[in-house]
Structure 1
């Protein structure tokens, strides 16, 4: 029997002579009817990026968001599978916890030729629909991360999703907005040292996108950019040029050069597909940092991931594009594995789970995001991007399947965990003051400077290093001692061994379990030895 080839953009359904695209109008009508039953989403509040772990403190906080692009150009009038099958769902707010839902409709044609929809709902911290612009995204979830990076912490914003889903559009817009925000307050300029770098990563190949700038005297002879680890566990980037900026104009010019140097090529899915991961790095040094007398510099990573591709997206690629696609998909697969492992490790009893962040240069650079024992607070915003088209629904569901679980794990992971009395985030005002004075050596006046108005342990844990130095002005050694001592306790609490039910395993219990396991092993070895002697005597 002869089977006619389906038209471009259509998807053949096994066992049916009809294709999804043949029922364009019916599917549009069905989805509109379903959408009319969904309550309107709640407007996002600005600056609400937060940790969900109460009363304890997670050393990495995640805000996981979804952004869906609108229909573009000829998609608005095209037929076939060019219709919207992704809609915002219900929004819920429970105290400080916000949940936005998104609904994905997968269109299908049955063996009888009847169209139907399969509905799946996913939960995120925020869902940004086609009506939300870049400023809305910045105000809702990015601004808080930028402020924390300015305060000496690590901030990460990364865009994830299919090629052509709008990642570069979002990240370029966020960087443009960032320029205005960083230099909006001129009084802060004298107390900060801001540098900007930008690189692109494709597999193990890393290119400095600002190496052509005039202040790089060596021109094209600069050493190869490398990402690695120091002996103390820190991830570092070597031979990447850093450019100090003192005005919005200077930073804007650097970002413009970085954008122009990104490697893009036309593919079946996207005329300007990013063929590498673009990484912008902004470092915030403060007064005293260069002399070693102040807090550590804060760092903000703006990461525009290359778009992942399905086989249908790359079927017309030449060998060069196919090789690039393999490198892109391998690194994104590594990122997915890190997200999956980090999700499991976040739960009780998961401290022993290995997160394979060394598997790619990209995930090694993002080590602080995945390392349970990172040395300072790391705030991460995940911006998952999806196309609303029915023809992309499989890729859309795949993106949500990887990103949504990270949000759920961070939200639910400590509901049944035993309270850790050695975790400073659980201490009241009297105990944290006692620790500062008796263990850290602060006198009463210094304690009052550091702990105003009855500061509790969780409040001090969330205080940035820069703020601790500011409160203990002129006492750099004590500020450094307090900050390092506090984060030693936090990391110890974070990596404390727990059972799957959330109960803490004490050192005595662990020693007893090890001794019992060794005893059982010795008894088993003795049993096999006796059996062996018996067998030999019988033969």
Structure 2
């Protein structure tokens, strides 16, 4: 196929130049965007020297940034005539062209997660794509930028000793190879992924390192990188053959909250057609990697569909089947179980042997990294198809054009104003209860988390917190 592409480069370029993109199709039955808890983006890697030397032209063409659509052009060897152009378009929430730096991506996608995490939420960032598409490069830089921001914030808010600073930052970096897990900060020591009776997942044996300064954090990241498992593949001389998870735990002593930021560098995917070049061992790894990525996709989609299911069943009679979220089928999805948990009065997840999760507030960012070369067009289509499938739109209850009333339609400002107005003679601090959350996000906070946040305000009793939550849910039910 590569020789076919190279033989017809001039024809391909003429067909691409003559291409006029059709309008992107959207469904009126769905909201204009996916739920705010999930952002799916695409990053197009710049052409490298080896790409230019190979002779393949560009196959990835983003439209205007505001359209959020990427066109992929492939050349089809038609058996009855000359080759024809086949074009595909994929829509995501954000598109980052080759000129965009990782610092800009950090500002757009990750920086706004940090206040959310500091207030007790869980933020997760994935980098997914073909091997050699820039996943490790992207995640490594995002790790450095996130820790730099957190350490700067911790230092600037206190002139006292490190033990008395408002923010305590702890770092854990692990590797998942198949169903085996290793601690990359203790020379790849094997660890266990265990689930306790309450459904909480523990990384048994993994060390947590307190981060006093930026330099100490960067040293630990470099140490973890040196123990990361890599192998030579057809597309990359040092391909990551395992998933790497960097977990940053942030304890905010001024508010008594604890949040987590997960930065996940997923293993590079490989095509089954490369078996002749890879051999049995590489293909066994490929099978394990692709299986875990497939389970991850099913779990993320199931969690997004749960939101739609919960909204559609409100005020309607009849039995409805909740989406199934099979997080136990993979070590990767067991570690990241927090993304798929439900709560806040929405019900329970239908999953074998579990009655649902804690419902902790969670936001997820997916970065689909793609190679721009025509030689990688098949893998690029698969990556963007995977990313597009994660972007599940939540159906809007009611007729088109209806304004969403009640807490589900509130922004953070309205949430704070309502808390101040309705909390009574003993005020509940909006900055502690809902520092960044919208009305929909506050409704998804579990009862335990809601009451815990309220209790951090002076003089607030458990009964006071329960009454405020009941008042919120009554208003939601009436709306």
SS at match of 1:172: helix
1:482, distance to aligned residue in structure 2 (A): 3.5
Q: Does 1:85 align with 2:55?
A: no
Residue aligning to 1:271: 237
1:34, distance to aligned residue in structure 2 (A): 3.6
1:478, distance to aligned residue in structure 2 (A): 4.2
Residue aligning to 1:362: 332
Residue aligning to 1:302: 263
Q: Deviations over 1:326-348 (max 9, x none)?
A: 22122112112223433433423
SS at match of 1:353: coil
- Is the Cα contact below 8 Å between 1:20 and 1:115 reproduced in 2? no
SS at match of 1:280: strand
Change (3 A) 1:483 1:419: farther
- Is the Cα contact below 8 Å between 1:376 and 1:487 reproduced in 2? no
Q: Deviations over 1:408-440 (max 9, x none)?
A: x24x42353899999677698897567634xxx
- Is the Cα contact below 8 Å between 2:125 and 2:367 reproduced in 1? yes
Q: Deviations over 1:71-124 (max 9, x none)?
A: 212211323xx22111111343xxxxxx51111112112224412211221111
1:330 and 1:240 map into 2 onto residues whose CA distance is 25
1:485 and 1:237 map into 2 onto residues whose CA distance is 35
2:192 and 2:438 map into 1 onto residues whose CA distance is 42
- Is the Cα contact below 8 Å between 1:432 and 1:456 reproduced in 2? no
- Is the Cα contact below 8 Å between 1:64 and 1:403 reproduced in 2? yes
Residue aligning to 2:83: 115
- Is the Cα contact below 8 Å between 2:295 and 2:330 reproduced in 1? yes
Which of residues 239, 254, 267 in structure 1 aligns to 2:205?
A: 239
2:45 and 2:141 map into 1 onto residues whose CA distance is 14
Which of residues 188, 194, 198 in structure 1 aligns to 2:157?
A: 188
2:471 and 2:362 map into 1 onto residues whose CA distance is 15
Change (3 A) 1:275 1:339: same
1:470, distance to aligned residue in structure 2 (A): 9.3
1:246 and 1:184 map into 2 onto residues whose CA distance is 10
Which of residues 273, 282, 285 in structure 2 aligns to 1:312?
A: 273
- Is the Cα contact below 8 Å between 1:375 and 1:487 reproduced in 2? no
- Is the Cα contact below 8 Å between 2:328 and 2:334 reproduced in 1? yes
Q: Does 1:252 align with 2:214?
A: no
Q: Does 1:207 align with 2:191?
A: no
Task: Work out which of the two has the higher radius of gyration on C-alpha atoms and give 1 or 2.
Answer: 1
Which of residues 73, 77, 83 in structure 1 aligns to 2:49?
A: 73
Alignment of structure 1 residues 446-461 onto 2, 5 Å: 446=428
Cα RMSD of the aligned pairs, angstroms, is: 4.1
Change (3 A) 1:433 1:364: same
Alignment of structure 1 residues 415-494 onto 2, 5 Å: 416=398, 436-437=423-424, 443-446=425-428, 475=458, 478=461, 482=465, 486=469
Q: Deviations over 1:452-488 (max 9, x none)?
A: 9xx9956966999999999986628648973997499
1:309, distance to aligned residue in structure 2 (A): 1.1
Q: Does 1:62 align with 2:38?
A: yes
Change (3 A) 1:202 1:29: same
2:195 and 2:407 map into 1 onto residues whose CA distance is 28
How many corresponding residue pairs? Answer: 433
1:352, distance to aligned residue in structure 2 (A): 0.6
1:147, distance to aligned residue in structure 2 (A): 2.6
Residue aligning to 1:525: none
After TM superposition, what 4+ stretches of structure 1 lie above 4 angstroms from structure 2? 417-435, 444-452, 455-474, 476-481, 483-490
TM-score with structure 2 setting the length:
0.78
Q: Deviations over 1:276-317 (max 9, x none)?
A: 0000000001217xxxxx534100000000011111334322
Residue aligning to 2:323: 353
Q: Deviations over 1:231-266 (max 9, x none)?
A: 323332221100001111111111111111111111
Unaligned runs of 5+ in 1: 1-5, 11-18, 40-51, 93-98, 213-219, 289-293, 438-442, 497-502, 505-539
SS at match of 1:171: helix
Change (3 A) 1:149 1:456: closer
Residue aligning to 1:179: 147
1:385, distance to aligned residue in structure 2 (A): 1.2
Change (3 A) 1:118 1:197: same
2:269 and 2:302 map into 1 onto residues whose CA distance is 20
1:303 and 1:204 map into 2 onto residues whose CA distance is 16
Q: Does 1:29 align with 2:14?
A: yes
SS at match of 1:385: strand
Change (3 A) 1:67 1:271: same
Unaligned runs of 5+ in 2: 24-29, 159-164, 314-319, 344-357
Deviates more, 1:264-273 or 1:416-425: 416-425
Q: Does 1:342 align with 2:324?
A: no
1:447, distance to aligned residue in structure 2 (A): 7.0
Residue aligning to 1:377: 361
1:448, distance to aligned residue in structure 2 (A): 8.9
1:379 and 1:456 map into 2 onto residues whose CA distance is 12
1:196, distance to aligned residue in structure 2 (A): 0.4
1:181, distance to aligned residue in structure 2 (A): 1.6
TM-score with structure 1 setting the length:
0.70
- Is the Cα contact below 8 Å between 1:87 and 1:104 reproduced in 2? yes
2:129 and 2:137 map into 1 onto residues whose CA distance is 13
1:88 and 1:387 map into 2 onto residues whose CA distance is 13
Alignment of structure 1 residues 514-529 onto 2, 5 Å: none
Residue aligning to 1:391: 375
